[in-house]
Amino acid sequence: MDVVGTIVGKQIDQYVLIDFDGFRRLIDAVGGIDIDVPQRLYDATYPTRNYGYTVVDIQPGLQHFDGDKALKYARSRHSTSDFDRSKRQQLVLGALQEKMLSAKILTSPSKIEGIYSVLSDSIKTNASMTDMIKMAKKAASFKKENLT
């Protein structure tokens, strides 16, 4: 919180962290996300859970991502730059926000609580459920183009 606060120039009082499995489950829980992939992503050395490697090959154009594919797209780092990876992460976050808004998830406390209960073992936070609902409602007003 101190490092992020220093970077953005504001005090950070609350945080929400999600592990990789929770990220996958979140994307799957909302029915996947759609991303217009701007350029091919090819990574021949994407790490697997058992310390091996797999090939990630995502073609440009409109793609529907499940949680596993979204995580690979956001995390791949061996064939592109950190800047490219950051842009892909922004695309994933924007698509997730769009999906959650279109499904009216962020504006429904019961849906937020439902997703939270599914992911509760994957999330670490110092925020209460009330605070999480407030954060989700604020997130609903974020503009995708400002996620930079």
Domain boundaries in the chain? 19-146
Q: Collapsing DSSP states into helix, strand and coil, what is residue 58?
A: strand
Per-residue pLDDT of the chain (148 residues; tens, 9 = 90+): 888 888 889 998 888 889 999 999 999 988 999 999 999 999 999 999 899 999 999 999 999 999 999 999 999 987 778 889 999 999 999 999 889 888 778 778 888 887 888 788 898 889 888 887 787 777 777 765 665 5
Predicted TM-score of the model (pTM): 0.80
Contact in structure between 67 and 78 (CB atoms under 8 Å)? no
Running DSSP on this structure, what letter comes out for residue 9? T
Is domain 19-146 in CATH 3.30.70.2860, yes or no? Answer: no
Contact in structure between 78 and 117 (CB atoms under 8 Å)? no
d(CA 75, CA 65): 14
